[in-house]
Amino acid sequence: MQEYVLPDYKTVKKGFVRGSEAAPLDQNNAEIDEDNQVVKMTNDRFSVPEVLFNPNDIGINQAGIAEAIVQTVEKCPPVFHRQLYANIFIAGGNSKLPGFAKRVRSDLVLIRPQECKLGVQ
Strands ordered across the beta sheet of 2-5: 16-18, 2-5, 38-41
Q: Looking at residue 65, what is its pLDDT?
A: 96
Write the DSSP assignment of 53-119 as a string of letters.
H-GGGGT--S--HHHHHHHHHHTS-GGGHHHHHHTB---SGGGGSTTHHHHHHHHHHHHS-TTS---
3-state secondary structure of 5: strand
**46 sits in which H/E element:** helix 44-53
Tens of each residue's pLDDT in the chain, 121 residues: 778 788 888 878 888 887 644 444 444 444 455 677 887 777 666 667 888 999 988 889 999 999 999 999 999 999 999 999 999 999 999 899 889 999 999 999 999 999 999 999 9
